[in-house]
């Protein structure tokens, strides 16, 4: 017994020494090489994309005789990663930035302004979100807008067509609930932001309006806002279009349920369509414009990302060159179409050879997409789960829409005022 | 022993007594099975999910025992990114243990043997330091580690982990040194050894079981840690440790429960093995530390 | 020892005196230094720093431009006037106490079970330790999977047992139920320590005392309540305080299982503090929240230290 203990202890000590030595040798080498840039790109869900980006980067390295340290950051934690980077001053030179984050980090001077000659080439909603004070801080890279993705096989069997407006959506949903054992619509709770906020626009309202003096004021608690939230939540509480667990769903869960044939409709982007159709022989998938609200509008959120150059970049010229390299037409088109997104420019989209499905997504982006108020506080609203909390509490039945949205509006105005 | 005890001083009939004993034994076994299931059930379910084909994972009626065993997930876990995270966890945890146990063995011995001024308060501080909520330390240590330029490195995390492993290990080791008779040291010194030699040659070898269990304890705390790892190495995905990687895995596009369970299992096994090797010393150390002070 | 000194030559004696001085004064200081540095530099100083920051409006700009302002007690005022922060503090306390009560009950019951004589006792003793060894994140993950609304083992067990309600039951929709699920995980991980420690205590009680009580006709329950537990009163108290401290520090399990959702209703103090700092960038207010937690735990720790002192006396 003693010898066993001793052997264990000896092995242990040996391991300790080894790892300490390893750890000591592992200190990351910070290269002062002048031709090096660090680039953060959001982790793409697919291996093809990752290889494509790596290929672009290699081409860039060859052309500029530079070395690029390409880091893939997972979306879910990227916001905190940027926070940490900015707090430590150890920022990348170039980064892909979620459109709602550009104003937030831009406000504390994290990014260098971009010189863009012709602003009109970009899709307005995408550019707008990257230019909080009218000065563009991010170059639109790719863009996309959500559309209604539905199980066409089931719709055909039930003799339904894609819903044109909110009433149709309810009727179709009720038919599906009555005739099948599927759930009807993705009333997600935890990931509700881009699902519920555009409904305010569809109802004819505004989330917040900018005053003449440039300040913002929340109008989310207007009758239209209340109607929008009530409509969204009623599909869960009143009509039972989604399972109880949807209160904690994100779009990923909706997508999984749709793919498994448990859910008939969800709101998704091009990439979501890609995921649910890939290797799917079980049913056909249709895509339709977002159902219109009482105001007749089909507005949705213009998603996508910007490429930004950090103000703290040690190699600004090379960093800018990398951005310009990535947004060149042919690369952007190749990249965007592989993701299921679109280039950030009107021309870029028009140059694409669109299929039937892409036409729908393009139509949503070009004619029915908008951006959230490009205010520095917006990222904190998302971080504080302001909107999703309201939705989730309404789904629990613990608060009514007016009360919840009054609170939201108050918080928003406090945030805007800071 | 219980059986004998049952017969002391009873004047009831043996038949009644046998019945009562059977009832009590049945109750004991029933309770034992329940407790055993509660304790091990989740672990078995983790193993089962990690090993079964996907088709048997997503079923309304759970498949308890996999029809075929799928090993691929472990290959993916160990060769892919998770291999990297595993290595990070190993490096950080072992470095933490090496530093804190070395420092603590010296300090623990001094605290057990020497009359130090203000020793009482020092001991209270060391005991109290174990109670500090990590979250209080998080921001200041973040600032400190940032000033040292160690954010996103192993060193930063190791430094942070020393904050909670050191007091713990000092406490456990001091308990062990106290349990070793001082006469052993004294007699070695009578034989001409210096005090340091006595410590190194006599006391340390005798305290080896204690050092081993303190190491395991420190190792487990570092291995498990999420909060610091989450906040310190965010900007450098290649530096993530296993808890962070696992936690992120959950929120990903499609939740692949089979992979998550396989990764969790790889994460769990080393701890369980260490634990079973030394848990006796460890519990003794902790209870001794806790009760005897 | 004194005998040696008398018979040794002067120069040796002098050397020995030098050695004694080294061994008596310098050696302990030298040996205490590294650990002392770690403890002071990494726990004591940070607490003071957090205290200092709690009176400032430090945010991300503190790092980029280095500027922050002292705002007096404003952060504390905003913590205690906000209904949200107040409810977080309250639920941390209530949930913590509930977890401790459950953990102690389960832990003590299991120790009593393990103290009985039956076949397989040693095996059970090892099995019971396992949950303690499972890393917190892994434990939270496997239980989250067991509580899955569609494919979870728990729902299947419950509705197979006749509770139809649990078909597709969503455990994380309502805060109270979500906390129940989280509490099960917490108890699962913390009862082994209590059980093992209590078992050690139980086995230190001489069998004769039980025998005497048996002769007096005391039943099993009476024996436990009137003799066993009172004899272990101080151990029970110490364990209660330790698990209270653990319960207040809970972060990992909640972070993995609900991340504080739905609607931030399961956020505990540790998570709110982290979120305030690292997603809201409000380091000043986060420090104030952290200090609130520190003072609560300091209070509990003081009780703990007093208990230990009494034990020593």
Count contacts between B and C (CB, < 8 Å): 302
Contact between C32 and B110 using a beta-carbon 8 Å cutoff: yes
With beta carbons under 8 A apart, name residues in chain B contacting A252.
Answer: 251-255
Q: For C210-248, write each residue's pLDDT tens digit.
A: 777 777 777 777 877 888 888 888 888 888 988 888 898
Considering only residues A353 and C14, tell me which one the structure prediction assigns the higher pLDDT.
A353
- Kindly tell me if the per-residue pLDDT of B114 is higher than 80: yes
Sorted by where each begins, the domain ranges of chain C are: 2-43, 82-312
Considering only residues B130 and A177, tell me which one the structure prediction assigns the higher pLDDT.
A177
Mean pLDDT of chain A: 87
| B residues 189-228 lying closer than 8 A (beta carbon) to C | 189-190, 194-196, 220, 223-224, 226-227
How many angstroms separate the CA of residue A45 from the nearest CA in chain C?
22
Q: In terms of domains, do B16 and B120 share one?
A: no
Q: In terms of domains, do B46 and B78 share one?
A: no
CA-CA distance, B102 to B82, in Å (whole number)?
30
The pLDDT value recorded for residue C252 is 92
CA A315, A320, A324: angle at the middle one, nearest 5?
155
| A residues 162-201 lying closer than 8 A (beta carbon) to C | 189-190
Q: In terms of domains, do B135 and B16 share one?
A: no
The pLDDT value recorded for residue A250 is 87
In this chain, the answer to whether the domains covering A36-145+302-370 and A147-300+374-417 adopt an identical fold is yes
CA-CA distance, B15 to A84, in Å (whole number)?
74
Of the candidates B94, B212, B235, the beta carbon closest to that of A84 is on: B235
How many angstroms separate the CA of residue B92 from the nearest CA in chain C?
16
Of the candidates C172, C263, C279, the beta carbon closest to that of A80 is on: C279
Q: In terms of domains, do B79 and B196 share one?
A: yes
Percent of chain C topping pLDDT 90: 47
With beta carbons under 8 A apart, name residues in chain C contacting B243.
Answer: 135-137, 252
Does B67 fall in a domain?
A: no
The pLDDT value recorded for residue B253 is 53
CA-CA distance, A404 to B73, in Å (whole number)?
45
Q: B touches which chains (3+ CB pairs under 8 A)?
A: A, C
Burial class of residue B122 in the structure, from the number of CB atoms within 10 Å of its CB (0-12 exposed, 13-18 middle, 19+ buried): middle
Q: State in words which class domain A147-300+374-417 has.
A: alpha beta
CA-CA distance, B8 to A210, in Å (whole number)?
89
When divided into structural domains, chain B yields a total of 2
Interface-testing mutation among B96, B211, B235, with chain A (most A C-beta atoms within 10 A): B235
The pLDDT value recorded for residue B291 is 40
Tokens describing residue C44: 């004591």
| B residues 4-43 lying closer than 8 A (beta carbon) to A | none
Of the candidates C28, C135, C143, the beta carbon closest to that of B267 is on: C135
What chain B residue is nearest to C63 in terms of C-alpha separation?
B143
Of A208, A387, A369, nearest to A303 (Cα)?
A369
ipTM topping 0.95: no
Does B272 fall in a domain?
A: yes
Sorted by where each begins, the domain ranges of chain A are: 36-145+302-370, 147-300+374-417
How many angstroms separate the CA of residue B20 from the nearest CA in chain C?
12
Contact between A247 and C61 using a beta-carbon 8 Å cutoff: no
Does B62 fall in a domain?
A: no
- Kindly tell me if the per-residue pLDDT of C186 is higher than 50: yes
A36-145+302-370: CATH number: 3.40.190.10
Domain boundary residue among B27, B57, B87? B57
Q: In terms of domains, do B34 and B149 share one?
A: no
The pLDDT value recorded for residue A15 is 57
CA-CA distance, A98 to A202, in Å (whole number)?
23
- Out of A221-235, B238-252, C67-81, the most confident range is A221-235
Q: In terms of domains, do B76 and B204 share one?
A: yes
Range of the domain at B41: 2-57
Q: Which of A331-345, B255-269, C290-304 has the lowest mean pLDDT?
A: A331-345
Q: In terms of domains, do B49 and B129 share one?
A: no
How many angstroms separate the CA of residue B254 from the nearest CA in chain A?
6
**Which architecture characterizes domain C82-312 according to CATH?**
Orthogonal Bundle (1.10)
The pLDDT value recorded for residue B4 is 47
Return the H-helix or E-strand segment holding A78: helix A75-88
Burial track B97-115 (b if 16+ CB lie within 10 A, e otherwise): bbbbbbbbbbbbbbbbbbe
Contact between C251 and B143 using a beta-carbon 8 Å cutoff: no
Considering only residues C253 and B282, tell me which one the structure prediction assigns the higher pLDDT.
C253
Q: In terms of domains, do B31 and B145 share one?
A: no
């Amino acid at each position: 017994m003693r010898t066993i203990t001793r052997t264990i202890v000896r092995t242990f000590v040996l391991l300790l020494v080894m790892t300490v030595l390893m750890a000591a040798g592992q200190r990351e080498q910070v290269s002062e090489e002048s031709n090096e840039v660090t680039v953060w790109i959001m982790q793409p869900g697919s291996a093809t994309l990752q290889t494509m980006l790596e290929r672009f980067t290699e081409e860039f390295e060859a052309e500029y005789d530079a070395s690029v340290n390409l880091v893939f950051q997972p979306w879910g934690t990227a916001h905190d990663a940027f926070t940490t980077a900015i707090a430590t001053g150890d920022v990348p030179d170039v980064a892909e930035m979620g459109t709602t984050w550009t104003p937030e980090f831009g406000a504390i001077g994290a990014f260098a302004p971009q010189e863009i000659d012709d602003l009109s080439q970009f899709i307005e909603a995408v550019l707008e979100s990257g230019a909080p004070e009218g000065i563009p801080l991010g170059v639109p890279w790719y863009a996309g807008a959500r559309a209604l993705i539905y199980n066409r096989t089931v719709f055909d069997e039930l003799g339904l067509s894609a819903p044109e407006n909110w009433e149709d959506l309810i009727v179709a949903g009720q038919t599906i609930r009555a005739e099948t054992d599927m759930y009807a619509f993705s009333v997600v709770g935890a990931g509700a932001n881009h699902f519920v906020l555009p409904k305010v626009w569809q109802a004819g309202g505004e989330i917040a309006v900018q005053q003449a003096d440039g300040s913002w004021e929340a109008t989310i608690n207007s009758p239209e806002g209340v109607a929008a939230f009530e409509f969204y939540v009623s599909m869960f509480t009143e009509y039972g279009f989604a399972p109880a667990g949807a209160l904690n769903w994100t779009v990923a869960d909706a997508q999984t349920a749709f793919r498994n044939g448990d859910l008939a409709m969800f709101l998704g982007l091009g990439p979501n369509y890609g995921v649910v159709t890939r290797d799917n022989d079980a049913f056909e998938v249709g895509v339709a414009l977002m159902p219109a609200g009482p105001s007749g509008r089909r507005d949705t959120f213009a998603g996508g990302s910007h490429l930004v150059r950090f103000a703290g970049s040690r190699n600004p010229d090379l960093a800018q060159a990398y951005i310009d390299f990535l947004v060149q037409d042919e690369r952007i088109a190749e990249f965007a179409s592989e993701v299921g997104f679109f280039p950030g420019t009107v021309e870029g989209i028009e140059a694409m050879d669109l299929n039937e499905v892409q036409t729908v997504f393009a139509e949503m982006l070009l004619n029915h997409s908008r951006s959230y108020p490009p205010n520095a506080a917006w990222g904190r609203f998302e971080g504080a789960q302001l909107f999703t909390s309201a939705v989730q509490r309404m789904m629990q039945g613990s608060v009514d829409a007016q009360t919840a949205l009054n609170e939201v509006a108050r918080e928003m105005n406090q945030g805007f005022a800071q | 022993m219980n059986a004998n005890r049952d017969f002391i001083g009873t004047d009831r009939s043996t038949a009644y007594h046998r019945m009562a004993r059977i009832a009590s034994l049945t109750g004991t076994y029933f309770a034992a099975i329940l407790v055993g299931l509660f304790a091990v059930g989740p672990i078995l379910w983790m193993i089962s999910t990690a090993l079964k084909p996907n088709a048997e994972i997503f079923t309304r009626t759970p498949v308890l025992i996999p029809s075929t065993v799928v090993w691929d997930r472990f290959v993916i876990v160990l060769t892919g990114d998770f291999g990297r995270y595993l290595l990070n966890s190993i490096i950080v945890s072992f470095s933490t243990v090496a530093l804190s146990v070395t420092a603590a063995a010296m300090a623990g011995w001094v605290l057990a043997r020497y009359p130090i001024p203000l020793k009482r308060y020092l001991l209270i501080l060391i005991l109290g330091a174990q109670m500090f909520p990590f979250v209080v330390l998080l921001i200041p240590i973040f600032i400190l580690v940032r000033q040292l330029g160690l954010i996103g490195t192993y060193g930063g995390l190791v430094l942070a982990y020393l904050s909670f492993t050191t007091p713990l290990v000092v406490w456990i080791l001091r308990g062990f040194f106290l349990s070793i008779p001082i006469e052993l040291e004294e007699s070695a010194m009578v034989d001409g050894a210096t005090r340091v030699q006595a410590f190194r040659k006599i006391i340390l070898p005798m305290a080896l079981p204690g050092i081993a269990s303190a190491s395991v304890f420190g190792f487990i705390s570092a291995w498990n840690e999420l909060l610091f790892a989450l906040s310190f190495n965010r900007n450098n995905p290649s530096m993530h440790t296993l808890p962070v990687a696992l936690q992120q895995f959950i929120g990903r596009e499609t939740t692949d429960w089979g992979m998550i369970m396989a990764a969790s299992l790889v994460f769990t096994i080393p701890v369980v093995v260490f634990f079973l090797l030394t848990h006796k010393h460890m519990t003794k150390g902790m209870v001794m530390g806790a009760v005897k002070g | 020892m004194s005998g040696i000194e008398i018979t040794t030559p002067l120069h040796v004696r002098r050397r020995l005196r030098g050695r004694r001085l080294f061994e008596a004064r310098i050696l302990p200081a030298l040996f205490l230094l590294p650990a002392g540095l770690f403890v002071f530099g990494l726990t004591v100083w940070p607490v003071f720093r957090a205290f200092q920051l709690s009176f400032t409006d430090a945010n991300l700009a503190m790092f980029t431009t280095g500027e922050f302002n002292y705002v007096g007690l404003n952060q504390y005022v905003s913590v205690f006037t906000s209904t949200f922060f107040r409810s977080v503090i309250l639920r941390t306390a209530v949930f913590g106490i509930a977890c401790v009560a459950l953990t102690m009950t389960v832990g003590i019951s299991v120790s009593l079970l393990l103290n009985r004589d039956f076949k397989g006792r040693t095996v059970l003793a090892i099995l019971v330790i396992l949950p303690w060894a499972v890393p917190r994140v892994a434990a939270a993950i496997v239980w989250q999977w067991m509580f899955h609304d569609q494919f979870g083992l728990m729902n299947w067990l419950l509705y197979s047992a006749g509770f139809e309600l649990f078909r597709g039951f969503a455990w994380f929709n309502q805060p109270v139920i979500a906390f129940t699920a989280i509490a099960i995980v917490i108890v699962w991980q913390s009862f082994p320590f209590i059980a093992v420690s209590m078992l050690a205590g139980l086995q230190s009680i001489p069998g004769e005392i039980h025998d005497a009580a048996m002769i007096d006709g005391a039943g099993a329950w009476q024996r436990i309540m009137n003799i066993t537990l009172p004899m272990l009163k101080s151990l029970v108290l110490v364990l209660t305080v330790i698990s209270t401290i653990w319960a207040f520090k809970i972060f990992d399990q909640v972070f993995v299982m609900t991340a504080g959702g739905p609607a931030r209703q399961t956020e505990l103090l540790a998570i709110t503090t982290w979120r305030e700092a690292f997603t809201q960038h409000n380091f000043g207010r986060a420090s104030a929240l952290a200090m609130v937690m520190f003072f609560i735990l300091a209070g509990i720790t003081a009780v703990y230290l007093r208990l230990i002192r009494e034990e020593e006396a």
